[in-house]
Structure 1
Amino acid sequence: MPGSFYRVACPDCESEQVVFGKAASTVSCAVCGHTLATPTGGTADIEGEIVEIVEDRPEAGAINQ
């Protein structure tokens, strides 16, 4: 399954949480409950600052063989 994982800083409490870039359900901050990711049917809308890419998993056609 292609997609990336991001470490996102919550805009309300500044705690950091890892979020899948193609989240299929709403992701809330574990500390304050603020919505960090909203599913769109593709790449999720991420609210907050992306601090780093934890794991980048490219599309199948982009992998060198």
Structure 2
Amino acid sequence: MVRVSRENRSKFYQVKCPDCENEQVIFQRASTKVDCVVCGKVLAEPSGGNAIINAEILAELE
């Protein structure tokens, strides 16, 4: 029997909106469109795996 050590392969990112500079946390593998809560700009779009992130990534959170 083979034991597989599974790590959490997904991350959360703290990102900054390019329009209003609002900072918020988004999921790396977002399955829905993520909008900025202040101005409504699209920060992340789903792509079947990792999301396409349209904002500046400030930090990776665990």
| TM beyond 0.5 | yes
Pick the structure with more helix per residue: 1
Count of paired positions: 55
Query: Normalization by structure 2: what TM-score?
Result: 0.84
The percent of aligned pairs where both chains have the same amino acid is 51
User: Which residue number corresponds to residue 42 of structure 2?
Assistant: 35
User: Which residue number corresponds to residue 3 of structure 2?
Assistant: none
Query: Normalization by structure 1: what TM-score?
Result: 0.81
Work out which of the two has the higher radius of gyration on C-alpha atoms and give 1 or 2: 2
Pick the structure with more strand per residue: 1
> In the alignment, is residue 24 of structure 1 matched against residue 3 of structure 2?
no
User: Looking at both structures, which has the greater relative contact order when contacts are Cα pairs under 8 Å and sequence separation is at least 6?
Assistant: 1
Structure 1: unaligned runs, 5 residues or longer: 56-65
